Every structure is written in C-alpha cells, then in structure tokens.
Amino acid sequence: MNTPARSVHAALAGTAAIAAAVALTAAAPGSLTPAATAATSSPACSSGTLVHTTKGAVCGTTADGVTTYEGIPYAAAPVGNLRWKAPVPHKAWTTTIRSTTPVQECPSPGFPPGSPPTTNTTEDCLNVKVQIPAGAKPGERLPVMYEIHGGGFLGEARTDDGSNLVRTGKVVYVFVNYRLGILGFLADKALGAHSGDYGIQDQQAGLRWVKQNISRFGGDPGNVTVFGESAGGASTCDQVASPTAKGLFQHAISVSGYYNYQNNIVWSKADCKSTYYTEAQAQRTGAQYAKKVGCGDVADVAACLRKVPVDKLVSAGGQFVEPTAGGTIGPIVNGTTLTMSPAKAFATGHVNKVDLITDIGRDEFNGGVYTNTPGLHPVVAETPAQYRLLVREQFGGLAATVERLYPLIRYTSPFVAYRTIMADSASVCPMLQSDAKVSRYIPTYADIDDDADNPAGEGLTEILGAQHSETNGLVHFATSKLDPNQKALQTQLLLEWTYFAHTGNPMADYTPAWPLYRTYSKPVMELRPAGSSSVSPAASIASLHQCGFWDRVTHY
C-alpha cells in the first residue's frame, strides 16, 4: 500500500533530483549482464564502503556514483542435512567480506530446457547483491527495489546490474539468488510434509535479510518493492499470494509473469505463470526422480537423496524439470508457502496488501514457437497448412472460431498469425482478466509493452515483436548503447518504477498520467519509444486481442 505521508513527502522532495538524474543515466555505462563477484575474506575496504550487518562486516566498491556489495550471504549453504529444507540463517563471520572474485551460481540444469547444465556453480549460493547511491548513509531510509531473476525456475541465475535504478531514482537495489530446478522445487513425501517451494522460501529469506539489515546500507526496511521478469515475475505473483511473505514488502512489479505455456500447448486455463501443481502431483514426480538417482527403494529416501552428488542430481533432472515433458518442478501449492495458486488468490482477494504493477509484452512469449536450438529455427506455422494444422491440434473444437478471429489474410505470415494467438490467449488476456479481479482488493496498475524495437530483444524483434520480458531488460540495458527513441522509453520506465518504489504510485513528473486499473475505464499504459507512450482503456486493448472470446472459453 502507499507509504506514510513522511515518506511520500520525502519522495516528492526528491522528484527534481530524480528528473535531473536522467541526464546522468544517459551518460552512465550500465550492463544487462555484468560480471558479478563473490565474497572473499579481506580486511581492506574502499573508503566509506564498510557496513556492519547483523552477521558481520562487508565492504564494497564504488564506480560511477554507485557502491556495490556482492555475494553477501543471507542463509546458510543448503547442503548435507540442509538440502531440501527451508533456508536457515547464516552464521556470523569475523573477517570483513570484500567482493573480489566471480560469484558461483546456484546449480542449474540450464535454460532454456535442453541447454547444457550451467557450469561454475555451487550449492552455497544463497546470497544477495546490494547496490546503493555512493555516499548513502545508514538510516537514510531510501526505498528498496528487490529483484528476483527469471529463467523458468531453472537457470539464468546471473546478477543483473541495478545501477540505472540506483542513479535515476535514488533507491537501494538488491538482487537475490535462490535455489533452482530439482534443488529448489523437488517435492517428495520422504522430505517431509509440505515439501517443495524451497526456491520461493529462499526469496522470502532474502526479504527477511533485507528487513534486518538494509537500514545499515541506507535503505528503508518498511518500503520494499519486489520485482522480476518471467519466472521472476511469476515469483512476484507468488510472493503477493503467499501468506508467509506477509509484511515483507509493500509494492510489487510483475513483468511477463503471466504466461500459460506448458505440456506442448500454448493455451491453458490459468494465469500468473501457468498451472500450479498440487503437492500430490509434485510428490509423484519426486518419487519417480528418487528412483532415477538410485534412492527409490532404500529405507531412508531423504538421507539417500541428500548424499547424491549435486552434479548427478542436476543431470538426472531431464523430463522432471521440463513442463512440455510432463515435469512438475516449479512452484506448487504445498499448503504453507502457497495455500492456493496465485490465480485463485488474485481472484478471491487472498493476497498481501501491496501496490501492484503488472506488465506484459504485446507479442508475449513468441519464443515458444521456436525450438531451443541455436539460431532459434522456426518449427511451426511456416506455411498456411502448418498454421491450420497447429490451430486444430491446439484448440480442437474451437479451431474454426480461432481461424475466423485470426484469418491469415490479416497477417504478414502464418508465423505472425500464430504468435498473435499465443500472445492473446496465453498472456495478454489472462493479465487483463486477472487485473480486473485483483484490482478489487489492492491498488493495481497495468501496462503493455508495445516496443517492437526494444534492444533487449537480442536482434530478434523483427521476428518476435514486443515479446517476453523486454521491459525489464530495457530497465537494465546500458543507456550509452540506446538510440534517442529507446532512451526516452528507458527514462520513462526508470522514473515510473523508482517513483513507484518511493510512493506506491508510478505517476512521476515528466511521465504520462497512469491511473489505477480499478477506475471505470480500466486504463492500461501502452509503452512505446520516442515519448509516444499513452494510456488506453482496457476495453479497446481487449478488443484488439480478442479477449472477449478468450475470457469466455477459459477460466482464469
């Protein structure tokens, strides 16, 4: 919910500084995936960077107006008897931690599914990265922006760089690493009641670390914004819906967290990251997995699993972590961390009372129509015959209606027709429908990325359009590499997101008016480059995306 008047006035007082910082952002080098560093022992500290956390001292490095602290442990290494258990606090350390060497990521089967396993990993990976404005003082009470990374709950555990956010909005940025794949989400009766969701619990442990420590870095533990893209956007939904996250944050931004792509289909009847499996479903997968690694028929399955070498655990994942092969490794409704799916929680008001921004791409998740091989070779909808066959396979008795609503003559190619069906049915319409429900309970703002030239699209925007996760990518993108049109949109996003972090309201100075979704017209911000963003009624957007049809035939 909105911050107290004191914090609001403080944020308003800083608006001029925020606007002035845009010029600094344009000149400051950022990076989408900078080299990260991990914590090692050293008594040396750069001037003014020493911070005493509740567990020990850390020091960082300062560059371009931002001080960075890498690899700060927030929980004990989840190894041995702590593997597949809720995170526990890290023990105190006596030697000052200084960032010097690359962070090792959490073990990962690789992402996208089918990729080689991630190398240079360790189970001792539960750490956070903190970035603050250089010179920020303890007790300064700056808003905190807490990022949860994407990667399908399987990979991409690199640390983003929050320098653009820190410089533009005078915020404290925190990036959290959490357990992935089998190690983060395996459920098995042998592991105890309410197993699974360890990765989601890690995210919450990081938030508890923020609550206990961030004031020492100049942050406000009572003004935290959780945000993320893709699986990070879905995780944001999870945290909004999780009873065990109550009170840990005040605002949330879910980018591309609404997509329903699983089991070899583009369309399923759920929202906010696909269908969430029950604990019983996930435990059946867990039992099969235990057998595969040689622990299915032993007296103490849990003890056996905890002794299996981590490389074997990860490589044996296979179909267990791949939704299109029937895998269930990901967040589940386990009765504690999640008592119901985010979709149900959003629809019924069983949510934490926070302010919410939801974001989706106009052509969301078009990468799903490609294989995961290098070069992204298209495998479907290259010809009219392939398009019609695919529609019939996907939608059965609804195929004739789908073809009528998406006639090939309207599109430049069968692929574009198919990608439009994917975006509308599996992402855009679910988000709008979910926002209509959750906005009855918490303040909600909606936006759609309509920027087909976003440089975060890695050169594929001509094929994929305004697609998955690009808004978050643009926020982190190196400003110096943007043309003026993209720089204008990046500036808008940075101002809106950081002002939202300050106040719970994204309507910063020098940005378009952006009313709450619950108002009569259900306004949606359409994000475009060159200062051409505008707000449109949800009804007009829903009409363009055939949401009347999709809302009738699905049950969000």
Residue 5 pLDDT grade (very low, low, confident, very high; cuts 50, 70, 90): very low
Average pLDDT estimate for 112-141? 86
Structural domains of the chain sorted by starting position, each given as residue range(s) with its CATH number in brackets: 5-34+51-553 (3.40.50.1820)
Is residue 180 predicted with pLDDT exceeding 80? yes
Instruction: Determine the straight-line distance between the first and last CA of the chain, rounded to whole angstroms.
Output: 25
pLDDT of 155 = 75
pLDDT digits (tens, 9 = 90+) for 465-511: 545 556 666 777 777 778 888 888 888 889 999 999 999 999 877 78
Is residue 37 predicted with pLDDT exceeding 80? no
Average pLDDT estimate for 302-315? 94
Give me the chain's average pLDDT, please. Answer: 81
The share of the chain scoring above pLDDT 90, in percent, equals 46
Contacts of residue 471, Cβ cutoff 8 Å, sequence gap at least 6: 229, 255, 256, 359, 361, 447, 449, 454, 493, 527
Residue 323 pLDDT grade (very low, low, confident, very high; cuts 50, 70, 90): low
What's the rounded Cα separation, in Å, for the pair 44 and 35? 21
pLDDT digits (tens, 9 = 90+) for 354-377: 999 999 877 675 555 544 434 444
Q: What is the dihedral of CA 529, 534, 539, 544, to 10 degrees?
A: -30
Residue position matching structure tokens 């070069």? 375
Instruction: Give the global pTM.
Output: 0.87
Is residue 208 predicted with pLDDT exceeding 80? yes
pLDDT of 298 = 92
pLDDT of 330 = 84
Residues in the chain: 556
pLDDT digits (tens, 9 = 90+) for 400-429: 999 999 999 999 888 888 888 888 887 888
pLDDT of 468 = 54
pLDDT of 534 = 75
Q: Are 205 and 243 in contact (CB under 8 A)?
A: no
Residue 32 pLDDT grade (very low, low, confident, very high; cuts 50, 70, 90): very low
Is residue 258 predicted with pLDDT exceeding 80? no
Cα 336 to chain centroid, rounded: 21
DSSP secondary structure code for residue 440 in this structure: T
Per-range mean pLDDT, top range of 70-84, 258-272, 324-338: 70-84
Q: Determine whether 57 is exposed, middle or buried from the number of CB atoms within 10 Å of its CB (0-12, 13-18, 19+).
A: middle
Average pLDDT estimate for 120-144? 94
Contacts of residue 55, Cβ cutoff 8 Å, sequence gap at least 6: 73, 89, 90, 91, 92, 93
Residue scoring higher pLDDT (113 or 56): 56
pLDDT of 259 = 53
| Helix, strand, or coil (residue 103) | coil
Strands (E) in 435-482, as ranges, are 444-449
Among 31-45, 350-364, 520-534, which is the least confidently predicted range? 31-45
φ/ψ of 437, rounded to 5, equals -85, -50
The continuous run of DSSP H or E covering 73 comes out as strand 66-73
